[in-house]
Structure 1
Amino acid sequence: MQSTPRVIVVGGGLAGLVAARHLAGGGVGATLLERAESVGGRVRTLERDGYRFDRGFQVLFPAYPAVERELDLEALDLRRFTSGATIARPGRRSVLADPRQRPGTIPATLLNPDITIGDRLRVARLWWELRGTDPDRFFDGDNRARDADESIERYLLERGFSAGFIDRFVAPFYGGITLDRSLSTSSRVFEYTFRTLAAGGAAVPAAGMGAIPAQLADRVRAVGGRIETEAAVDAVSSAGSSPRVTTADGTNYEADAVVVATDPPAARELTGVESIPTAARACVTQYYALSGDESLETGKRLLLNAVDDDGPNHVVPHSAVAPEYAPADATLISATYLGESEASDSELARRTQITLESWYPDRRFDALETVHTDRIPFAQFDQPPGIHDRLPDARSPDGTVYLAGDYTRWSSIQGAMRSGRDAAKAVLEDLSR
């Protein structure tokens, strides 16, 4: 009688969890090894003193195809951001909204001094152009919607968008998505996310972004997969017919296949695949508490810093979007700085206070209390034009070792989840032979 194939998944981020679920569901014995105390990788939520702090500024795009396929969105009890943003600069704040969702915002949007009528028409035209495109075509080889790739900035300039619109809105808005305010990121990322945001907006689970890997872990166990935490993997060997995984405590796991689903630097070290990208985009997100009766008067919209200065790229009104993120008597906001700032936590808090007081000249923010800081040196891999043509795929490592990670697709929750499913499919196909 033939024994059940055994597969080890190294890494408990979104890619590893999705891979383990599909492997176990496909009839193999899947064991996931995660070095931390809990799964989630870069997607985590810390709960402390009645607050919920996601690991850096993170949101879920519910219209991502992999999100719709892999998650029970109703069970996540999503709290949605209002589309658009508040564009802030010293002495002035203006609203850019999506009138399709909130017709009452049409007057404020039309009167927005930061956006021209021409730019509004170009946004509508671009949305109409991209809405009918199969999202997989933005990245998938010969089926790509466009063969050429270019920076986001060049892409927008070629379509006639004004420099003011790009500098004041797109740069900080996409600075939050790509951690690249210079807009040197691949335009394929812009097209995919623009289409997805227009289709479904952005949201967070009521229990924080950590609810996403928690749900995926439950689904792994429900189909018979095993998850072992605090199991740091030091080596993966593809020699011979059975690959071997060795953990830091000297435990050896032999299997019929191994899926490496760690962060990019660790994946390159474990597999030797040189095409795994390791150039990083970093950020610092700092959370602040205000008294419960204070508000940033932006509703559930992001506040975008229209000026490229020492202040934060954007500010998020977390408890306005999701009241569950803060105690009833407090307001929780955050500010995100792009790159690895050398400034101390107190200096960053001071910069945020100065920035807020410039945006709200009739208010003081002396009561701004720093309650948590996340410094994330590897939040995303860098995605310049052309990089997606050079990324590895699931079968790039030698032997029966496979890759699962957004670095096989593109840096996003969509890329991570899709890569996990792709890796599981490759393993199951090869084992069936």
Structure 2
Amino acid sequence: MQKSDYKIHIIGSGVSGLVAAQVLENFGYHPTIIEASNTVGGRVKSDIVDGYVLDHGFQVLLSEYPAAQKYLDFKALDLQKLVPGALIFKDGKKQKIGDPLRDLSLLFPTIFANIGSIGDKLKILKLNTTLKNKKLQDIFDAQEITTLQYLKNYGFSDNIIANFFKPFFSGIFLEPNLETSSRMFEFVYKMFGKGYAVIPKNGIQAISNQLKNKLNQTIFNFNSPVKRVKNNAIILENEKEIKSHFTIVATEASPLISNLKNQETTWKSCDSLYFEISQKTFTSAIIGLIADKSALINNIFYTTSIQKSPNQNKDVLSVTVVKEHQLTANELIKKVQEELEQYCNISKAKFIKRYQIKKALPKLSNLQYEISSTETQLTTSIFLAGDQLLNSSLNAAMISGERAAMGVIKTLEDGLIVDELTSEYQ
């Protein structure tokens, strides 16, 4: 058989599935991607509403992600840098802190902000230096504790933990108590310290679109939800059976594969709301953190600080809620509007759209940076991909997609089951 004759299917067109397809193409194979929705991206998607680009949740790309540097063309994405810092909203005041080593304008605001002590700020610089020099594998080999305990062990004060670390990393980890593994904290902190948080000018889906547009030999079957995956066959929801030499499941696998039923992924959720604002309360591309304990809002960001607004004198504000709540949609919108005025002095926020993201990030323990291609193999013909195999990041999604594809390629090139498969499909 020619390489192009092998029936290799990828379930899911998120980042991991798209990277898997790219690797297979690089080795001469012609995969097929089966996608339940009508477009690529998985969790990395955007919509256009009233001319505004709305990402499915506030998302950034960290420019130092090694896998992103390998698979993405940063220049073509027209990446917009965020200010390496944050605005802290607390007690009716707005204070700016950040990394003066990368943005000198942050030096005096950071020194004079009463967010943490001078000792805290020196510890931040020390942590920056320590993690810049720490190897990625050493980070993921370290003992796991919660991020909160890690910060306490490092000697940070309750002040800076409550007013900076909690709101900042709650927005990244999508949980309010910093229960996430210290390995993830060190990894993300290292990435922030070495590079920048960036967003494509045309929205986060530009990443998924770029990965798709690089594929020349891949077939896409959209609007094709999968019901079950078996060895050498895929059953769609409409009961259609598709024969497959190899299948890469680049989505949550437990509902699709019978022997994984007891290994269902636990997910973190969040709410992302967008509002049209008549007047910005700050103009730079910087994240705003709500540090008040009683606030429902975690963070805010003006998306029009990196994208030109299609409406003159109007801007779009992204609001992220990570705390659990029992509010109806209308109650949530009203509560957020009240808090925007109370904490941020943002009034007359006109609601645009809400994204209730029930599967925003996988909740994981024993986080890993790397996985071997053989570890992605579930059966002789089924391989797994997705950030849930490693850690909750775009970097992990790309690595897992690459490894799953290499697992398929290695199996074929080793000739372990080629004869059996070939005879079956003749």
Instruction: Give the alignment of 1:324-335 within 5 angstroms.
Output: 324=308, 326-335=310-319
Q: Distance in 2 between matches of 1:138 and 1:276?
A: 26
- SS of 2:234's equivalent in the other structure is strand
The C-alpha deviation readout for 1:255-296, integer Å capped at 9, x for no partner, is: 22110011x3xx1121233685521111001100012xx112
The residue type paired with residue 382 of structure 2 is V
Q: Is residue 431 of structure 1 aligned with residue 418 of structure 2?
A: no
Q: Determine if contact 1:237/1:245 at 8 Å carries over to the other structure.
A: yes
Deviates more, 1:403-412 or 1:309-318: 309-318
Normalising by the residue count of structure 2, what TM-score does the alignment of the two structures yield? Answer: 0.91
- Structure 1 position 154, deviation (Å): 0.8
- CA spacing shift, 1:329–1:84, aligned 2, 3 Å: same
- SS of 1:195's equivalent in the other structure is helix
The C-alpha deviation readout for 1:353-387, integer Å capped at 9, x for no partner, is: 33232334xx561x210001000111011134x35
Q: Distance in 2 between matches of 1:324 and 1:257?
A: 44
The unaligned stretches of length 5 or more in structure 2 are 415-426
Q: Is residue 250 of structure 1 aligned with residue 246 of structure 2?
A: no
- SS of 1:352's equivalent in the other structure is helix
- Structure 1 position 326, deviation (Å): 5.0
Match among 382, 407, 419 for residue 388 of structure 2? 407
Instruction: Give the alignment of 1:318-329 within 5 angstroms.
Output: 318-320=303-305, 322-324=306-308, 326-329=310-313
Where does residue 208 of structure 1 map in the other structure?
203
The C-alpha deviation readout for 1:19-50, integer Å capped at 9, x for no partner, is: 01111221222111101000111111000211
Q: Distance in 1 between matches of 2:84 and 2:247?
A: 41
Q: Share of identical aligned residues, percent?
A: 28
- CA spacing shift, 1:364–1:165, aligned 2, 3 Å: closer
- CA spacing shift, 1:394–1:14, aligned 2, 3 Å: farther
- Structure 1 position 342, deviation (Å): 2.6
Q: Determine if contact 2:296/2:323 at 8 Å carries over to the other structure.
A: no
Q: Is residue 199 of structure 1 aligned with residue 180 of structure 2?
A: no
Q: Distance in 1 between matches of 2:354 and 2:137?
A: 36
The residue type paired with residue 109 of structure 1 is T
The residue type paired with residue 423 of structure 1 is A
- Structure 1 position 135, deviation (Å): 2.5
The C-alpha deviation readout for 1:321-356, integer Å capped at 9, x for no partner, is: x12365343110011111453313332232223323
- CA spacing shift, 1:350–1:308, aligned 2, 3 Å: same
Match among 235, 255, 260 for residue 249 of structure 2? 260
The C-alpha deviation readout for 1:121-144, integer Å capped at 9, x for no partner, is: 1111111111123334433xxxx2
The residue type paired with residue 355 of structure 2 is D
Q: Distance in 1 between matches of 2:30 and 2:105?
A: 55
- CA spacing shift, 1:136–1:214, aligned 2, 3 Å: farther
Where does residue 23 of structure 1 map in the other structure?
24
Where does residue 34 of structure 2 map in the other structure?
33
Q: Distance in 1 between matches of 2:392 and 2:128?
A: 22
The residue type paired with residue 176 of structure 2 is R
Match among 211, 214, 217 for residue 212 of structure 2? 217
Q: Distance in 1 between matches of 2:283 and 2:335?
A: 20
Q: Determine if contact 1:394/1:419 at 8 Å carries over to the other structure.
A: no
Q: Determine if contact 2:367/2:390 at 8 Å carries over to the other structure.
A: no
- Structure 1 position 214, deviation (Å): 0.7
- Structure 1 position 308, deviation (Å): 2.1
The C-alpha deviation readout for 1:22-79, integer Å capped at 9, x for no partner, is: 1122122211110100011111100021111100111111210111111011100111
Match among 155, 159, 178 for residue 160 of structure 1? 155
Q: Is residue 420 of structure 1 aligned with residue 401 of structure 2?
A: yes
Where does residue 294 of structure 2 map in the other structure?
309
Where does residue 281 of structure 2 map in the other structure?
296
The C-alpha deviation readout for 1:154-200, integer Å capped at 9, x for no partner, is: 11111111111111111110111001120111001001100001111
Q: Determine if contact 2:174/2:270 at 8 Å carries over to the other structure.
A: yes
Q: CA RMSD in A?
A: 2.1
Q: Distance in 2 between matches of 1:352 and 1:201?
A: 29
- SS of 1:411's equivalent in the other structure is coil
Where does residue 286 of structure 1 map in the other structure?
273
The unaligned stretches of length 5 or more in structure 1 are none
Match among 321, 324, 341 for residue 325 of structure 2? 341
Q: Distance in 2 between matches of 1:41 and 1:332?
A: 23
Q: Distance in 1 between matches of 2:269 and 2:310?
A: 26
